[in-house]
Structure 1
Amino acid sequence: MLIINYSFSQNDSKIEKLKKRLEQDNISKSEKSKALSALSYNHSNIDSSLFFAEQALAIAREINDANLQADALQEISHVEYRLGNNSKSLDASLRALRIYDSLGLTELKAAIYGQLANNSLTDKDYNSAITYLKNAEHIYTISDKRGNLILTQLNLGEAYRLEGQLDSAAIYFKETLEKNKTKNNNIVQGYSLGNLGMVLRAQESFDVAEWHLVEAIAILEPLGDAYSTSVYLTELGRIYWKTSQWNLAEAKLLSAYHMANEAGLKEQIRDFSRTLTDFYKERQQYDKALDYLEINRIYQDSLVNKASIQQIEQLKANYEIGKRESEISLLNTVTTNQRNQMILLGIGVLFISVLALMLFRGNRAIKKVNERIANQNIIIEKREQEKALLLKELNHRVKNNLQMISSLLSLQSHELSGHPAQEALLAGKHRVEALSLVHRKLYQEGAETKIALKEYIEELVLGLFYGYNVPFKPKLSIDNSSISIDKAIPLALIINEIVVNSLKYAYADIKAPSLEITVKEVAQHQLELDISDNGIGFTEKEGDKKNSFGLKLIHSLIGQLDGHIERLKTNGTHWKIKLGHI
């Protein structure tokens, strides 16, 4: 687990002070740029944070202040990284690094090296990450006003562990434990112990590894760090499994799985369910093994499975495509000029022998040009295939980035347990997952703009039922047809809002709950959706309510699809939706 050398949190009072400062007439452009960068740092809304950082950069460029430009670029890098735009984050970091380097601001350079290491680790470029962290370590060894050296060394140990250099990783983790005796930082202590335990487990030093992992869990679990605690519990389970302590192994593996499930950590749910499958298979408990294998299958494709495409490769591909297109344009120009020359020469030729000679030469030239064009067509076809692959990978990256946002929302909602904002975060999480499913389908099916409607809606609804632990199954009747991505996204959000509302509120005291969804094509490019449940239905007051966010969102999305929605008066709740131009 990597500890990032920067943090962000929202401070409402500080944000209000910064906003009031920006509204003052006597504020200079330099102060305005600083205030905008500070606002970006303190704001928890990612879109707002990016907007403020870009405004700070624009003003800094206007007044030609290099230091303020670098500060704004550093904030942009952090926000783009949180958004999952690793290429943009990397570009902003490198530009900030060049400025800090020219100004001799060494500790700020070290902070940028830490961000560049995060970018490299996201791309699984561990060697580059180690190089960046080594540069930061060198700077912090000389000057460390903010106490970042120990965090940098902890990150170095983790980078070495991921690279497979276990001895080097162990050295750094032991060094951070030694330094933390004076700092007494619980987070550093927990991560150092846990990561060292993972190294020792990989080196099969089971007794020592067990002690480190137990200590790490004891520190981090009370802090609510479900991610690291569940990982360390799994490592403990592997140790007990390896040493044939079957009951202990099963208890730790199940504890890790349930913790990840409660926290909504989908990547861990996938990995832990695979581990439990293998465990029960070895114990010849095949019914349990099959249960966890099914869970693993559900979560397998919803997470980051492949490294992002490097921006340099995208630029290279675009450059090659552009160069080939220029060559084709040049060849077309040459062909046109030669044809015109042949016509003019043919008019001027008085003798048949001269005309025949010119035709012979012209034909030979055209043949060569046609051969070159044929070769270029082959190259163009290859580039088109590359473009299709890039588009497929783009859909994969968008899906992964959306899933990352969903995981972040899930983690944040876990920390806001009991807070009124928790429900809003969970609702946002489900909406993001609905969007992620669209891009996953595009990636799986290799299609550019179409996805299968039946399979997509079934997976969306079943995923919601699974996520809310609903004990019954929905009744689905969906036509076999395809839908474009720009229609699939609003349709996904509409179904998500209605189904989630039913699962949350409809079935109180309902003994035999049911939910039925019917989707059929009633005319060319027109769909009719019926979503009904046998729940408690809407009260008269609720039925007249028009200003809830969910209803506003549904009506807005229906408008985008040129559709119409009405609620029929039946037992329970019955929505009938008609959509045009699908």
Structure 2
Amino acid sequence: MTFNKQLLFSIGFLMLTFSCFAQNAQRTDSLLTVLETQKLSKKEKVTLLISIASNHPQQDEASYYARQSLQIATEINDPVLQAQAWEEIGAIEQRLGNKNNALDGIFKALHIYDSLNLKDKQAASYAQIAAYHFGEKEYDPAITYFQKAEKIYSEIGDDLYKALALINLGDTYRLNGQLEKSITTLENALRLNKSLKDEEIEGYTLGNLGMVYAAQEKLNEAKENLEDAITILTKLKDAYSTSIYISELGNVYRKEGNIQLAEEQFLVAYTMAKEARLKEQIRDFSASLTNLYENSNRYEEALKYQKIYQKYQDSLVNKENIQKSEQLKAGYQITKRESEINILNITNANQKRWGIALISGFVLLLFFAYLLYRGNRKIKKSNQVLSDQKELISKREQEKALLLQELNHRVKNNLQMVSSLLNLQSRELTGHPAQEAIISGKYRVEALSLVHRKLYQEGVDTKIALKDYIQELVLGLFEGYNVKFEPSFSIADISIGIDVAIPLALIINEMVINSLKYAYKDIEDPLLKIVIMQEAVEDLHIQVIDNGVGFTKIDNEKNNSFGIKLITSLIEQLEGTMERINTKGTHWEMKIKLN
């Protein structure tokens, strides 16, 4: 739970982001009327342009006015106004999703504030940078900049913003896994608030402390802090934070084994999120309810909330795709506007040169004007052709990337739904001979689903990281079979195409499941090791080793089982070889072609 989402932590661009669209549009129209009708000094004009950029609903237009304000502020040599213009440019670039440009704007503003020794402005800029890294889940730099902001607020004696910085810093420590530091930092915020007596600070600090204690399995302390936070924030009518803390309280009850109370809290959080139209929270709370009901064998209710989860998950993914499309559109409009400005600047420069040329001689002017006209005409024609081709290629590449990403997303969702259905069916067949086959089918489907999830998350066309993929696949099987020991990996850090990744995943899936099901009976120190190395440019060497009971005579007679047939078929498909080495346990050794 991040406190700057609630109190906006003295960050100008965040306040603008959450402004009402209709009010911003009306205010923008009013400000533009003032700009066009009133005679303003350059300093007043800069301030007005920054305000227009802050409120303008169209990001390409907002960028234009922000950069215009920076140009005038530079002309009048006003460093404070220049810093404010850079801050606004950074905020706009952040809304457009341009990370490097956003940070560049904020750092340029910070450099100016440093040179002027404006401590409060420096601290706000540090907090703004930290908030940006936090939003990108880059917790180490976020911690660094929150610490810098907190130190400056301590130096200037601003206890309110120091408390806010401590809350943000504590929550960042929590998400970064530094739980003891998180507790110490949040307790410092509580002590500081004894003099401030701010209910919002009290509520968010207690809520975040509760979440830290829950992560440490200190359930009594977690409940006490979460309940106090919920009481305070309910009175303040903060549905967003209250629903999150209520859901976290449900998780605490669930850890205690009190399923009824856990269900009640999840339902209250879900209802509150639905009334407040908090899509991400509706999705997350639906997932919690699905998991709770599924583990309680209440499959009808589990399926109900699974459908709700899928609905909101798809909605949020579509929203992200629309936002990305808007970012691309805004980026194109900004580039177009800058090109128009550059053309106007070139035209003005040419007019000045023509005026000087008139003094030198009319004939000479006509000659140079003629050459300039011909040159500009050729340049414009060439640039127009190149621009049209570049735009066409860019649009096609964007459409291709979005469609491929959406395809992977849909395939992943469909495979996950099939896996869920197989899982539900296997529970209904407990004790039936068909249950084992359905469970095996479920894990094969999940191996396929994992490929498409990797492609969707990593944003590539046809390749995935082999090491991460195999580790996640095997760890998922260990979790599914409730295995207590950890597997050992030695995997080359390479990327492979999906034509190799899918059959390879199915092969390892079959071998690992076989070991987990049959190998470790009466084995005191079980071991499973997976080694995958690239021996040549086109060769991959795979070993799956366990120290189990090995293949018995009966096992040898089962070489025609479906699993063995599947592995043999896949090895042939990859133009490879397979050998079982006679050692204690089972040692599979395979070589396959990468291409």
Normalised by the size of structure 1, how large is the TM-score? 0.50
Give me the TM-score of the superposition, normalised by structure 2: 0.49
